[in-house]
């Protein structure tokens, strides 16, 4: 069992007593899921060794996307899929952030504001890609990942995009390359991002509730050349399914306080911070996403609904480079097979013991 699970099991009942009446239902579900994850109360999966006949009983995981114990396998699967979809040529990582004055408002209107963040930032990218001074293509392709946390668990919503360096011009079907070290002007992206976000809030009748200072300040957009997409995908992979803090960052829980490691921005030196346990749980839970909200989104020719398949996009990029284009490596590691702890032989799934005493049989024989 992980350190964060232990914290929720020990202190979750007190947290619910204190704050349960005002707590969003999503938070209750996360507390319950993490508390029961990989315990007997969550049921068990039974395997049998094909050689010696020994049964191996593993407590079921909760599968909740905010549980730190349940995301490793999902991360690996996502990374494998993205590596298979990699495109040749240079790439960029763009990060869209909002002013600090806007954070409390977004936290209170998460579903509307997270959707607006995606819509405004992606629209800004598409609009500037049309400009022939930069790219000159009307069909870019990219994917974005929503993050809501900083290194000390503060609320800090922002979106990372991985963007191939160019776009398709549907007028002539050609790939329009961007510069290798410059994609789009970040000041212009910032202004369009802010304006489109405000438009979305005005349509929702919420713009007047935002502090006026948030509209006067520049909205920071960062653009970084990352070369092959492999580097940026591997960087983002842990964030796609990772929660605000992982078990390996927890140092100890002592005298009602949680001690955890973090690094300041721009520094590799590990520091230790401690929070009162109720505050630690509050900061953790503020990063719980609304039910069903998609934190990874794909646009343009990277969208599953794109009329142009990726294999055709790849051919257009190679043609634009004169077939002298760097390719990424799509090597992935296979998941090791489950084996018996006694004799080392393979084990096979037998059945699942569900928490409500329902039984699901595995393949016979």
- Asked if 120 contacts 197 with a C-beta cutoff of 8 angstroms, the reply is yes
Say if 267 falls within a structural domain: no
Distance CA 159, CA 100 (A): 15
* 141 and 8, same domain (yes or no): no
Say if 281 falls within a structural domain: no
Q: Quick: pLDDT tens for 305-327.
A: 999 999 999 999 999 888 766 55
The residue segments making up the domain with residue 176 are 72-244+287-320
- Asked if 295 contacts 146 with a C-beta cutoff of 8 angstroms, the reply is yes
Task: State whether the Cα torsion 22-295-113-200 is positive or negative.
Answer: negative
- SS percent in the chain: helix, strand, coil, step 5: 40, 25, 40
* 16 and 104, same domain (yes or no): no
Distance CA 341, CA 331 (A): 29
Distances (CA, A) of 254 to 4, 15, 57, 221: 14, 17, 32, 40
Residue 223's Cβ-count burial label (10 Å; 0-12, 13-18, 19+) is middle
The percentage of the chain sitting over the pLDDT mark of 70, rounded to a whole number, equals 91
Tokens encoding 77: 């699967």
Phi, psi (degrees; rounded to nearest 5) at 266: 85, 5
Lookup result for tokens 């009942």: 13
Q: Quick: pLDDT tens for 110-145.
A: 999 999 999 999 999 999 999 999 999 999 999 999
Tokens encoding 267: 């520094």
Q: Quick: pLDDT tens for 11-40.
A: 999 999 999 888 899 999 999 999 998 888
Chain centroid, CA 160 distance in Å: 9
Helical residues (DSSP H) of the chain, grouped into ranges: 3-19, 25-36, 72-84, 103-108, 110-129, 186-203, 212-216, 229-241, 277-285, 310-320
Question: How many domains are there within the chain?
Answer: 2
* 309 and 182, same domain (yes or no): yes
Say if 139 falls within a structural domain: yes
Distance CA 91, CA 331 (A): 19
Say if 256 falls within a structural domain: no
The yes-or-no verdict on residue 157 having pLDDT over 50 is yes
Say if 232 falls within a structural domain: yes
* 181 and 132, same domain (yes or no): yes
pLDDT averaged over every residue in the chain:
88
Taking residue 236's Cβ as centre, other Cβ atoms within 10 Å add up to 21
Q: Radius of gyration of the chain from Cα atoms? A: 24
Q: What's the mean pLDDT in 146-158?
A: 91
The answer to pTM > 0.75 is: yes
Tokens encoding 323: 């077939």
Name residue 78's beta-bridge partners.
none
Say if 262 falls within a structural domain: no
Quote the pLDDT of residue 68: 82
* 56 and 77, same domain (yes or no): no
* 39 and 146, same domain (yes or no): no
DSSP letter at 127 equals: H
* 86 and 35, same domain (yes or no): no
Q: Quick: pLDDT tens for 40-74.
A: 888 899 999 989 999 999 888 888 888 887 766 67
Say if 194 falls within a structural domain: yes
Tokens encoding 338: 């489950």
Say if 79 falls within a structural domain: yes
The yes-or-no verdict on residue 86 having pLDDT over 50 is yes
Q: Report the number of secondary-structure helices (H) and strands (E) in the chain.
A: 10, 14
Distance CA 3, CA 249 (A): 9
* 223 and 295, same domain (yes or no): yes
* 240 and 348, same domain (yes or no): no
* 193 and 93, same domain (yes or no): yes
Tokens encoding 351: 């059945």
The yes-or-no verdict on residue 330 having pLDDT over 80 is no
Quote the pLDDT of residue 187: 96
The yes-or-no verdict on residue 238 having pLDDT over 80 is no
Residue 5's Cβ-count burial label (10 Å; 0-12, 13-18, 19+) is buried
Tokens encoding 348: 């096979």
Name residue 25's beta-bridge partners.
none
Distance CA 118, CA 94 (A): 13
* 179 and 312, same domain (yes or no): yes
Q: What's the mean pLDDT in 295-306?
A: 94
Tokens encoding 349: 């799934």
* 59 and 77, same domain (yes or no): no
pLDDT band at 228 (very low <50, low <70, confident <90, very high): confident
């Amino acid at each position: 069992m992980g350190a964060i699970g232990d914290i929720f099991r020990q202190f979750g009942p007190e947290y619910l007593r204190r704050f349960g009446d005002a707590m969003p239902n999503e938070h209750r579900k996360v507390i319950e899921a993490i508390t029961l994850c990989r315990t007997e109360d969550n049921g068990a999966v039974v395997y049998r060794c094909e050689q010696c006949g020994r049964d191996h009983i593993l407590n079921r995981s909760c599968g909740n996307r905010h549980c730190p114990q349940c995301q490793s396998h999902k991360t690996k699967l996502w990374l494998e899929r993205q590596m298979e979809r990699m495109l040749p040529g240079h790439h960029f990582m763009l990060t869209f952030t909002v002013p600090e004055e806007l954070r409390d408002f977004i936290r209170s209107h998460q579903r509307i504001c997270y959707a607006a963040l995606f819509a405004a930032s992606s629209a800004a990218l598409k609009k500037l890609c049309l400009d022939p001074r930069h790219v000159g293509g009307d069909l870019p392709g990219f994917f974005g990942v929503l993050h809501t946390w900083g290194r000390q668990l503060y609320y800090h919503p922002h979106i990372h995009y991985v963007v191939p360096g160019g776009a398709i011009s549907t007028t002539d079907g050609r790939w329009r390359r961007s510069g290798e070290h410059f994609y789009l002007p970040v000041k212009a992206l910032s202004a369009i991002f802010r304006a489109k976000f405000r438009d979305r809030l005005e349509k929702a009748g919420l713009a007047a509730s935002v502090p006026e200072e948030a509209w006067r300040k520049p909205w920071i957009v960062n653009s970084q050349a990352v070369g092959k997409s492999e580097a940026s995908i591997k960087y983002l992979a842990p964030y796609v399914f990772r929660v605000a803090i992982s078990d390996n960052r927890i140092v100890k829980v002592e005298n009602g306080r949680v001690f955890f490691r973090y690094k300041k921005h721009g520094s590799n030196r590990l520091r230790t911070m401690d929070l009162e346990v109720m505050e630690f749980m509050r900061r953790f839970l503020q990063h719980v996403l609304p039910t069903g909200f998609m934190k990874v989104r794909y646009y343009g020719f990277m969208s599953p609904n794109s009329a142009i398949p990726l294999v055709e996009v790849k051919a257009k990029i190679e043609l634009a480079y004169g077939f002298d284009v760097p390719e990424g490596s799509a090597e992935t590691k296979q998941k090791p097979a489950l084996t018996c702890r006694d004799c080392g032989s393979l084990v096979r799934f037998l059945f699942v013991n569900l928490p409500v005493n329902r039984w699901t049989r595995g393949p016979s024989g």
